[in-house]
Amino acid sequence: MSKCGDSVSMRWPSSPIPSLLLSTRDGYSSWKFKMRNYLIHEDLWSTIDGYNEGDTTSEQVKSRNDKRALAKICLTVDGSAMTHIRSAKSALEACNALQDAYEDKGMGRRLTLERKLNHSVRAYTARTE
């Protein structure tokens, strides 16, 4: 029998949490893909995607699953990303907040990418001249 502090390999009671931590916009696309698959694997994706019509899952189980999904999302978010979901009351609310904060869309993102590209082209041109 091991005592607290002994060198013992610890394992999560269920599936391990994905190794990816979301902390900036740069990792959002990968995090979103992995989190979707992780929640599908854990049979929690319905908390985000919605339950099928005629689903007989009890409200108590739905609520418990939503809390589990929210906890799993929160445990894979770090740094400034945490501020976006700190007040989320549901897994869907957390996912929507992260999507609003990090998903690449709109004219602002396009302009940012164009500025980065122009800067890179100028830097390359200056080196090759």
Asked if the structure places residue 126 within a domain, the reply is no
Tokens linked to 9:
């390999």
Residue 33's domain spans which residues? 25-103
Residue 47: Cβ-neighbour burial (10 angstroms; 0-12, 13-18, 19+)? buried
H helices, E strands: number in the chain = 6, 0
State the Cα–Cα distance between residues 78 and 53, nearest whole angstrom: 35
pLDDT in tens, 16-56: 555 778 877 778 888 999 999 999 999 999 999 999 999 99
Helix (H) / strand (E) containing 121: helix 106-128
Distance of alpha carbon 103 from alpha carbon 32, whole angstroms: 10
Instruction: Count the domains in the chain.
Output: 1
DSSP secondary structure code for residue 27 in this structure: G
Residue 10 has pLDDT above 90, yes or no: no
31 located within any domain: yes
57 three-state secondary structure: coil
Is the pLDDT score of 13 beyond 60? Answer: no
| Segment of 1-15, 23-37, 60-74 carrying the highest mean pLDDT | 60-74
The chain-wide mean pLDDT, for the chain, equals 82
Give domain status of residue 7, yes or no: no
Residue range 71-90: mean pLDDT, rounded: 91
Domain annotation covers residue 15: no
Q: What is the pLDDT of residue 7?
A: 39
